[in-house]
Structure 1
Amino acid sequence: MNFRLFTGTAVAALGLSLSLASANTLRMADSTDIAAMDPHSMTESNTIGFLNHVYEGLVRYNENLEVEPALAESWEFVEPTRVRFKLREGVTFHNGNPFTADDVVASLERASHDTSPVKSNLPGLERAEKVDDLTVDLVLKGPDPIVLNYLTNIYILDKEWMEEHDALLPADMRRGKENYAVANSNGTGPFVLESRQPDARTVLTVNEGWWDEPRHNLTRIEFSPIGSDATRIAALLSGELDFITPAPLQDIERINRASGVSVIETPSLRTIMLGLNYADTLHNSNLTDDNPLKKQKVREALQLAINMELIRDKIMRGRSRNAGLLVAPQVPGFDEALDTRPAADADAARALLEEAGYPDGFEVGLDCPNDRYVNDEEICQAITAMWARIGVDAQLTARTKSKHFEKVLAGGGDIYMVGWATLPMLDSYSVLSALLHTPGDRMGAWNPGGYSNPEIDALTTKIATELDEEKRTQMMKDALKIARDDVAIIPLHQQPLAWAVRDGVNLSVTADNKPRLWYATID
């Protein structure tokens, strides 16, 4: 069934089928479906977040986004490049098999296999070694201060189950090669997969034998993908759903005015920004042998011309958080003293352009998605109008996210919108290594514009291996300050994050946009 084509009749049918749910059933809907049940076959954040109810890692982020023990109860660096994990005793998989070091080694080998996109979340892993049944060593290629952050996204599967079902390697979804783990699961998590109907419904039931002390009182989770915002909201308002995500920005006030439901909100980790082309020439410009973006005064002018207060108040309905840095406040390396942006000033921006040698402005391409971020196309339309006031003619191209990122990552954009949440690192090193470091040698993977600053590169290299937390944090602050002062990338805001629940459903929204339903209760 395609929920994007839901009609009122279909909603009523959904309500009839769900009306039999017990008081401890959480009926939830998202705008997209889970990609697969195989946790090593994709890096799509909504899927990874949902699967954390079935599968677990050695460690996890808690509701405060702090790393805490999960399948490993403790760890220590026995050498700078060797981390020893003591595994939790008495844990069993959903099929009753005991959890041991063999499962950890097999799962880490599986996650780091060439066909697994999750391997990018294990960049420093050399190998995993079994010490005994409840002890595993992770041998690293070099000192890695955030190895635990990476491991929050690496889930552990049962080796015997994988061998039994010929699933020791992850499904290669990019080539259309599936395996048993795509539609089936066997984790250690708080919920067990009962049934899976792609594009229709996925049902989880409570794991009565979960090793942790449950704070939730759920017995069942029924998940439905409903692409239509209107249909998703209608199902919530009529009582057919208990929890929906996302709650569209334009409908928040209407939901809050309705009886029996409310919206829970927070600024997300995701910072929306404008990347810039630093090549010798632009792709879409009247200047055929020049690139004004390489001049700092031009970049300062472009930033000065953007009225983020107006965008926040009018387009984001007062719910975004204007950003002066490229990371959100929850991310290590954020410095509140540096998180300032100049007040919009078109006159000062025009003066800067004249000083830079462009008194008449110039043409430039502006690429934005129209289906990836909150009100992404509307933001770019507003920026286009603001830049026009200072003589910069931004030729806006807004397209679906797949085509947008295909063009941008190929280096085909002049100025382009991108959002960055720093996950799973939850660390400023994510921005420094991916967006700001000079491209090359696995660095700068999201720096298609070719920005290069030797000071940032040097600091990023040191940050990658510095184990002294205080020194490392200061270096990240220093690097982000250099990027801010240089206007290497233009930060816009942290976009709002909103979920909607019916009264009696108690859960907290977290900035990483991952529901942790093992904390949820229903009155």
Structure 2
Amino acid sequence: MKMVISKLGTAVASAALMTAGLSYAQTVRIGNQGDALSMDPHSLNETTQLSVTGNVYEPLVARDGKLNLTPALATSWKQVSPTVWRFELRKGVKFHDGTPFTADDVIFSFARGSGDGSDMKSYTNDIKEVRKVNDFAVDFETKAPFPILPDVFSFFYIMSKDWSEKNGATKPVDRRKGIENTASFKANGTGPYRLRERQPNVKTSFVRNGSYWGKIEGNVINVEFTPIGNDATRVAALLSGQVDVIEPVPLQDVPRITASGKARVLQGPELRTIFLGMDQKRDELLYSSVKGKNPFKDKRVRQAFYQAIDIDGIQKTVMRGASRPTALMVGPGINGFDATMDKRLPYDTAAAKALLTEAGYPNGFEVGMNCPNDRYVNDSNICQAVAAGLARIGVKVNLQAETKGTYFPKVLKRDTSFYMLGWTPSTYDSHNALNALMRCVDDKGAGQFNLGAYCNPKLDELILQIQSETDKAKRDGLIKDAFAMHAADIGHLPLHQQALAWGVANNVELVQMADNVMPFRYISVK
């Protein structure tokens, strides 16, 4: 393929080509149903954004193509006391602007990611202090023993202190408040690709970093990432050769792409769990016909909603079989998942109606529901199916389905009564979901994505024990107890784990990972 280079990127691309030893540039064009909403790696804890920015920025500890922990900006790590981890940093690494990477950047990044506007506080809430040992070593002191701390860092990216200060980007872009800064549109990481051009909701271009410290397994020089929200348009772009990769493939179009002879569909299980949350904090529910109280504070109402959802019908009709119904907030592949507990309450409209009547709502009520229409597989269709099920028990759902660009700022402000969310534990451990989704909300990052503010102090005690426990058998037992407690409370309404479906042109090779991250470094064009 021919290389298309703007004048601005000519020198960078030329350097990349010489370093790569290639006689011509390889370009891959990726069409995704949604955009990365910002180039700021601390502004939104969402897989699409972290997948895209993770090609430019790097963590201390990364994941390889098989999701195993691997050194990145840290070369090694060890516990020097029960509550202190020491990370030895990689020497000779430079940010894309030529500034050397040192311990000061690590300390700055963790302060930034723990501060106002950050969406990454659930990664840092149990860190007491980050201390500089020398220019290439830092100590992390945790509030209690935290044996899986290195696993926590794989999606926490390091920024340049110098660049951030010079560009007025010392605080994260706050999507909730609509606050932007230079980090929204520009980037300066240490990763294998540099940001070349950012056009929000149009196209974002990247070029291979010719001075990258590590190995880039693929041969791709230029990457063009384009949001294509319409399913039919996205498929047409792949089959016409306008793009080389699409994600996700609309489930109804899998046979068409497979039969085209031009592209193939890569399918596999995803570690993400899709669920519904409910406001359980406000004394009066927003966007509801119920005045003076909050129906979701009543477990009987939450259970009625649960049992009104025909999850098998959603799997068959909406998801075309490409989902796995679940009763838990984590699925297979996540440490602590226990299949013996994964038994949903039965779909039972009569039982649901009886529960609503018992709770004092014999005729049901109206409630607003927030849902994205370009983030998860068939997300708005799932919400429509849920609304139809709830209508059968007298609940009128006023569904607001919208692009994630407006959806996430709204629900992250907790300006919602009833919402959809998907979650892949970044540590591939149950503690991550428990800490971020089910822990009582505080201002340090605990329960940061517990948007309905479900709270059980006894569960919090279990989560802290899970965090500190080093004996695997005991820890697994605690995780089981925690999930049983949450299930008994009907804290959330788990739906399913969705399946991955990527459309890939026949001349492209890449690695599909179960966390739905797409590293450019593994992509090759024949």
Corresponding position of 1:497: 500
Q: Is the 8 A contact 2:277 2:452 kept in 1?
A: yes
Q: More displaced, 398-407 or 240-249?
A: 398-407
Cα distance between partner residues in 1 of 2:112 and 2:465:
30
Corresponding position of 2:482: 479
Q: How many residues align?
A: 503
Corresponding position of 1:73: 75
Determine if the alignment matches structure 1 residue 513 to structure 2 residue 516: yes
Counterparts in 2 of 1:156 and 1:455: CA distance versus 1, 3 Å: closer
Corresponding position of 1:257: 259
Corresponding position of 1:329: 332
Cα distance between partner residues in 1 of 2:143 and 2:327:
35
Determine if the alignment matches structure 1 residue 340 to structure 2 residue 343: yes
Q: Is the 8 A contact 1:237 1:261 kept in 2?
A: yes
Match of 2:315 among 307, 312, 325: 312
Cα distance between partner residues in 1 of 2:353 and 2:439:
30
Q: Is the 8 A contact 1:284 1:363 kept in 2?
A: no
Counterparts in 2 of 1:376 and 1:108: CA distance versus 1, 3 Å: closer
Q: CA deviation at 1:437?
A: 3.3
Determine if the alignment matches structure 1 residue 87 to structure 2 residue 92: no
Counterparts in 2 of 1:325 and 1:445: CA distance versus 1, 3 Å: same
Cα distance between partner residues in 1 of 2:146 and 2:107:
19
Corresponding position of 1:303: 306
Q: Is the 8 A contact 1:58 1:151 kept in 2?
A: yes
Corresponding position of 1:29: 31
Structure 2 letter corresponding to 1:380: C
Q: CA deviation at 1:341?
A: 1.7
Within 5 Å, give how 1:112-131 maps onto structure 2.
Answer: 112-114=114-116, 116-131=118-133
Structure 2 residue matching 1:392: 3-state secondary structure? coil
Q: Is the 8 A contact 1:325 1:480 kept in 2?
A: yes
Structure 2 letter corresponding to 1:375: N
Cα distance between partner residues in 1 of 2:459 and 2:136:
41
Cα distance between partner residues in 2 of 1:68 and 1:259:
37
Structure 1 letter corresponding to 2:488: D
Q: Is the 8 A contact 1:268 1:494 kept in 2?
A: yes
Determine if the alignment matches structure 1 residue 152 to structure 2 residue 149: no
Normalised TM-score (structure 2): 0.82
Q: CA deviation at 1:124?
A: 2.8
Corresponding position of 2:249: 247
Cα distance between partner residues in 1 of 2:383 and 2:180:
38
Instruction: Name the Cα RMSD after superposition.
Output: 3.7
Determine if the alignment matches structure 1 residue 385 to structure 2 residue 388: yes
Counterparts in 2 of 1:461 and 1:498: CA distance versus 1, 3 Å: same
Cα distance between partner residues in 1 of 2:288 and 2:172:
44
Corresponding position of 2:371: 369
Corresponding position of 1:269: 271
Within 5 Å, give how 1:398-437 maps onto structure 2.
Answer: 398-400=400-402, 416-437=418-439
Q: Percent identity?
A: 39
Q: CA deviation at 1:336?
A: 1.3
Match of 1:58 among 57, 60, 65: 60
Counterparts in 2 of 1:392 and 1:172: CA distance versus 1, 3 Å: closer
Q: CA deviation at 1:98?
A: 4.1
Corresponding position of 2:107: 105
Normalised TM-score (structure 1): 0.82
Q: More displaced, 240-249 or 120-129?
A: 120-129
Cα distance between partner residues in 2 of 1:172 and 1:290:
35
Q: CA deviation at 1:322?
A: 0.7
Counterparts in 2 of 1:17 and 1:412: CA distance versus 1, 3 Å: closer
Corresponding position of 1:461: 464
Residues 345-384 of structure 1: CA distance to partner in whole angstroms, max 9, x if unpaired?
Answer: 4455556667x47795533525132524433333233334
Residues 8-44 of structure 1: CA distance to partner in whole angstroms, max 9, x if unpaired?
Answer: xxxxxx99969xx957322222234444444345545
Structure 2 letter corresponding to 1:206: R
Residues 102-126 of structure 1: CA distance to partner in whole angstroms, max 9, x if unpaired?
Answer: 4333433444444544455322334
Q: CA deviation at 1:503?
A: 0.6
Q: Is the 8 A contact 1:367 1:404 kept in 2?
A: no
Structure 2, unmatched stretches of 5+, are 6-22
Corresponding position of 1:8: none
Cα distance between partner residues in 1 of 2:432 and 2:4:
44
Q: CA deviation at 1:242?
A: 1.1
Q: CA deviation at 1:329?
A: 1.8
Counterparts in 2 of 1:395 and 1:71: CA distance versus 1, 3 Å: closer
Q: CA deviation at 1:421?
A: 1.0
Structure 2 letter corresponding to 1:105: I
Structure 1, unmatched stretches of 5+, are 1-13
Counterparts in 2 of 1:316 and 1:466: CA distance versus 1, 3 Å: same
Q: More displaced, 500-509 or 360-369?
A: 360-369
Structure 2 residue matching 1:491: 3-state secondary structure? strand
Corresponding position of 1:11: none
